[in-house]
């Protein structure tokens, strides 16, 4: 492909990504993979270049652009070398007209700015994300880990965490293939640390997804006790099985919940759990480094729905705790409505709960909980809180 044709391909892809973000369709990565499946003439360098154009345009525009051309014209305003490729030649985009509007630059959609927790450093939300690993204690720390992963740096304060440069192909590394390490953001590892799970406990990971945090809980429990991974989406839970095998975490039980009737499926656990982790569905504002297109999908109405759903999940999670047990609420989001205010509202609705103060190596206190941000901590953005059940 010529450099000009790569720009035209990026415009076509951005058209599809913008429509998909508007209509709740597939993610950008899926659309990019499909696009190239139908275009075998594109070589690996073409694919990399087009993908790079697409993601630069996505990162640059906080608000969903009108169309793919507006997104790329916006990028061309910053980069004369891109503007020069709009030359109207074969397979090239037509030249940029004088005064043609491009998508405006920005990090955070305007409506969302006042909703972000006050200490959030907005410019760092779109930075490059490293690859963080968790050394899997279930397999022991191998003596040759440094030889297997010479580029891995320790993360201060998190003994099991290692940090690799962005884009490191970890899935080809023997340490990953043997289950010696898991890919997990240091912030997620800190949330599991805040759970303080111990061998022999009964622990429920209520929004387990494909089990990233479940596997870390399993390691903290040294494979002993009862660990239940619950979710409402079968395909997500199904991905946990092979991961648990690879990690040597074979004591995990999975529980598929019926959306809107979750309490029924959880009845036998009422009053039994030492720890319940609610890693709730959220706006994902803390993960834009890895998923910048999420900004184009979030709307005020969707945020309202998420806040209501988080409150509902917290309310059916609470009865699972034994007296003295701990409910850990976590989101990879940085809006106060989903974080600080959500926990305050839970405490207002429910008597018999106390906030447990946290003292952790990364992050800072925020309201009843703890805040991690890319700018302050180099992790994804998270809010989490630990609540102790004081009365039955
Ligand atoms: C932030 S993700 C969890 C990520 C996962 N804990 C991890 O560490 O990889 C939120 C999960 O909540 C699940 N979920 C949404 N609504 C739920 C509900 N009502 N009950 C239980 N899980 C739910 C979603 O399917 C999704 O997998």
Query: Which residues are annotated as catalytic?
Result: 332
| 231 marked ligand binding residue | yes
End position of a domain, from candidates 149, 165, 183: 183
Residues 76 and 152 in one domain: no
**In-domain check, residue 312:** yes
Q: What is the pLDDT of residues 278-305, one digit of tens each?
A: 999 999 999 999 999 999 999 999 999 9
Residues 148 and 289 in one domain: no
Helix and strand counts by DSSP (H, E) for the chain? 16, 13
Distance from C-alpha of 278 to C-alpha of 353, rounded to nearest angstrom? 16
Q: Which domain holds residue 142?
A: 131-183
Residue 66 tokens read as 């009108």
What ipTM was assigned to the predicted interfaces of this complex? 0.99
Using DSSP's 3-state secondary structure scheme, residue 80 falls into helix
Residues 195 and 139 in one domain: no
Most informative mutation of 249, 281, 339 for ligand 1 (most atoms within 8 A of CB): 281
Residue 326 tokens read as 């701990």
Q: CA 363, 339, 345, 236 torsion: positive or negative?
A: negative
| 279 marked ligand binding residue | yes
Residue 201 tokens read as 């406990």
In degrees, to the nearest 5, what angle opens at C-alpha 86 toward C-alphas 82 and 90? 125
Residues 245 and 362 in one domain: yes
**In-domain check, residue 122:** no
How many A from CA of 207 to the centre of ligand 1? 3
- Do residues 354 and 387 lie in contact, with contact meaning Cβ atoms separated by under 8 Å? yes
Residues 167 and 191 in one domain: no
Residues 173 and 200 in one domain: no
**In-domain check, residue 174:** yes
Q: Which residues line ligand 1 (CB under 6 A)?
A: 188, 206-210, 212-213, 230-233, 236, 257, 259, 262, 279, 281, 313
Residues 173 and 197 in one domain: no
Helix (H) or strand (E) holding 274: strand 273-279
Distance from C-alpha of 335 to C-alpha of 113, rounded to nearest angstrom? 9
Distance (Å) of CA 302 to CA 22, 28, 284, 346: 12, 19, 12, 20
Residues 76 and 177 in one domain: no
Q: What is the pLDDT of residues 83-127, one digit of tens each?
A: 999 999 999 999 999 999 999 999 999 999 999 999 899 999 999
Residues 151 and 200 in one domain: no
Number of domains in the chain: 3
**pLDDT tens, the chain, 392 aa long:** 999 999 999 999 999 999 999 999 999 999 999 999 988 888 999 999 999 999 999 999 999 999 999 999 999 999 999 999 999 999 999 999 999 999 999 999 999 999 999 989 999 999 989 999 999 999 877 677 888 888 899 998 898 999 998 888 898 888 998 889 999 999 999 999 999 999 999 999 999 999 999 999 999 999 999 999 999 999 999 999 999 999 999 999 999 999 999 999 999 999 999 999 999 999 999 999 999 999 999 999 999 999 999 999 999 999 999 999 999 999 999 999 999 999 999 999 999 999 999 999 999 999 999 999 999 999 999 999 999 999 76
């Amino acid at each position: 492909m010529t450099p000009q044709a790569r720009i035209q391909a990026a415009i076509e892809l951005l058209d599809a990504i913008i429509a998909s973000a508007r209509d709740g369709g597939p993610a950008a990565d899926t659309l990019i993979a499909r696009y190239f499946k139908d275009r075998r003439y594109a070589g690996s360098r073409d694919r990399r270049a087009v993908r790079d154009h697409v993601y630069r345009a996505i990162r640059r525009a906080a608000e969903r652009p009108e169309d793919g051309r507006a997104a790329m014209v916006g990028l061309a305003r910053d980069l004369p070398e891109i503007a020069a490729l709009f030359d109207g030649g074969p397979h090239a985009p037509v030249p940029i007209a004088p005064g043609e509007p491009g998508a405006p630059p920005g990090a955070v959609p305007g409506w969302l700015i006042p909703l972000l927790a006050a200490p959030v450093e907005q410019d760092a939300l779109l930075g490059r994300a490293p690859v963080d690993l968790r050394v899997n204690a279930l397999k022991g720390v191998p003596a040759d880990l440094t030889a297997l992963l010479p580029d891995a740096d320790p993360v201060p304060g998190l003994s099991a965490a290692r940090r690799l440069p962005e884009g490191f192909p970890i899935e080809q590394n023997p340490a990953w293939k043997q289950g010696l390490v898991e890919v997990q953001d240091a912030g997620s590892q800190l949330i599991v640390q805040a759970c303080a799970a111990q061998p022999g406990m009964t622990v429920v990971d209520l929004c387990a997804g494909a089990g990233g945090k479940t596997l870390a809980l399993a390691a903290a429990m040294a494979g002993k006790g009862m660990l239940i991974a619950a979710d409402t989406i079968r395909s997500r839970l199904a991905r946990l099985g092979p991961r648990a095998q690879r990690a040597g975490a074979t004591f995990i039980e999975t529980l598929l919940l019926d959306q809107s009737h979750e309490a029924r499926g959880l009845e036998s656990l009422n009053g039994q759990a030492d720890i319940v982790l609610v890693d709730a569905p959220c706006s994902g504002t803390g993960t834009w480094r890895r998923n910048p297109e999420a900004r184009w999908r979030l709307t005020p109405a969707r945020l309202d729905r998420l806040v209501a759903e988080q409150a509902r999940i917290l309310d059916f999670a609470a009865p699972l705790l034994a007296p003295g047990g701990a409910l850990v609420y976590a989101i990879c989001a940085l809006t106060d409505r989903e974080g600080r205010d959500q926990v305050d509202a839970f405490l207002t609705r429910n008597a018999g709960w106390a906030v447990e103060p946290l003292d952790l190596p990364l992050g800072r206190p925020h309201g009843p909980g703890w805040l991690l941000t890319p700018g302050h901590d180099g992790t994804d953005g998270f809010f989490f809180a630990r609540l102790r059940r004081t009365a039955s």
